[in-house]
Amino acid sequence: MRAAPTILHLDMDAFFAAVEQAAKPSLRGKPVIVGGLGPRGVVATASYEARRFGVRSAMPMAQARRLAPNAAYLVPRFSVYRSVSGQVMELLGRLSPLVEPLSLDEAFVDLEAGGAAHDGEAARAVGERLRGDIRAVTGLTGSVGLAGSKMLAKIASEQAKPDGLVLIEPGTERALLAPMGVRTLPGVGPATGEHLRRAGMTTVADLAEAGEDELVRLLGRAHGASLYAMALGRDDRPVVAERDAKSISVEDTFDVDLHDRARVRWEVERLAERCVRRLRDAGRSGRTVVLKVRRYDFSTLTRSETLRGPTDDPVVVREAAARLLDAVDTTGGVRLLGVGVSGLAGFTQEDLFAQASADAAPVSDGAPPGEGAGGPERTPADAGPGPAGGVGAVAAGGGEPAPEERRWAAGADVRHAAYGPGWVQGSGLGRVTVRFEEPGSAPGRVRTFRTDDPDLEPSDPLPLVPGRGQPLPPAGVPGSLSAEGADGRARP
């Protein structure tokens, strides 16, 4: 524990939804929900306006639509979120060499290590300046917590939401924590919280009064001792600049269960290609290929194969994933597939190319074989709003997607030859509705076109703050390094 509140925790406010509201002036002040739009989609982030209706992250999208039927529902644009996150992380890096990102929208900063602050007054000034800089660069708001430990800094930022700053003075920790629920403390999830409740402990004060021996008896030595220390406000975890990912993975959930074995294999090979693209973008290679299969009854199987050394060869990963699939029974249907690579390294074992068939050809990005009803819904970890082949897009009549038919995902960036930049509000029945506006403009007008209108084209996203920086990278760019089975943390 530090004698000064020089650990800063930044949490951007409703980040994904806030980015969409900044990019689309007509959505400012309106309920916005970002996530998978198919029948099995889930909410990635809900704006504060949508939260008033009870919508929360990780909620099934069908439930969100019942609670907020008039909200704007958009697919995630992760390439845009990563770009904006990079701008925010660059600002944090100017404060200290010790920045610990937790996700795209959240990070700890050790202000003392960077010489930015050594006491409470200076720390508060740094925090306020940071909030102003974030607004100037991105047009977004973030909440800042300052304390003498990581745990308390995070609690402070939660209290500061939205768009505020809270500083916890050293020495006030126990009084602050005492009335809070046990779930406030790191490491106390639903199961542990219920276990403690049955033991009569619902607040942090209850934990402190129970004593270390009782908590160790209930939860085990490591967890019990750690929880008791945190109940007393003690947390000596340092800010760690490097948080190396354990794996890189992608997965798809399907609107309709897949039964055709050839279609399942095609999807696995396609996922393997996407996984390798992310692997290469991160400048990494991996030694273990992992296949994830969730069947019709929600049972989930994982299979893995360890290679002779690390690789980033798409053929090697694709063939390994296919071999793993051969050992899985998909009778009854498949609702989710995933391919990942773990055992990451920064180099490639060249002789692994011999593991691939010399004449193997890359998998085409064309239509899959077998059944075409219910195209894949991209999960939030890898969703992209590309105008063609959007979330859950299928051809009329449920057959294979017609290659000449263009489909437009809600929220996708477009440009019209006559009307300029805009974004897709919705599409269907051969029509696409576009609102023509851009960041910094007044709310724009809405027009409807044929989906094959030659004057309407997909467009790169525009900067959220006009006149600052270059256009953002095109949507659908493969993702960045992620933790096991997740893209950092797809959450608000």
Enzyme catalytic residues: 106
> Are 258 and 333 in contact, with CB atoms under 8 Å apart?
yes
pLDDT for res 115:
92
pLDDT tens per residue, range 376-404: 333 333 333 333 333 333 333 344 444 45
pLDDT for res 171:
87
pTM of the full structure: 0.72
pLDDT for res 243:
65
321 DSSP assignment: H
Instruction: Quote the CA–CA distance of 59 and 55 in Å, as a whole number.
Output: 7
Instruction: Tell me the residue type at 468.
Output: R
Coil/strand/helix, residue 125: helix
pLDDT for res 190:
85
Instruction: Quote the CA–CA distance of 82 and 476 in Å, as a whole number.
Output: 11
pLDDT tens per residue, range 401-453: 444 567 788 999 999 999 999 999 988 889 999 999 999 899 999 999 999 99
Instruction: Quote the CA–CA distance of 402 and 400 in Å, as a whole number.
Output: 6
What residue spans of 412-474 are helical by DSSP H? none
pLDDT for res 19:
96
Instruction: Quote the CA–CA distance of 236 and 150 in Å, as a whole number.
Output: 8
> Are 424 and 410 in contact, with CB atoms under 8 Å apart?
yes
pLDDT for res 468:
61
Extract the residue ranges of the chain whose pLDDT is less than 50.
349-403, 470-492
In sequence order, what are the residues at sequence separation of 6 or more whose Cβ sits closer than 8 angstroms to the Cβ of residue 123?
4, 5, 6, 8, 111, 117, 146, 167
Sheet holding 32-35, edge to edge: 43-46, 32-35, 72-74
- In DSSP terms, 426 is beta-bridged to 433
Coil/strand/helix, residue 355: helix
460 DSSP assignment: P
Coil/strand/helix, residue 337: strand
Instruction: Quote the CA–CA distance of 21 and 30 in Å, as a whole number.
Output: 8
Give buried/exposed letters for 166-195 (b at 16+ CB in 10 A, else e): bbbebeebeebbbeeebebbeebeeebbee
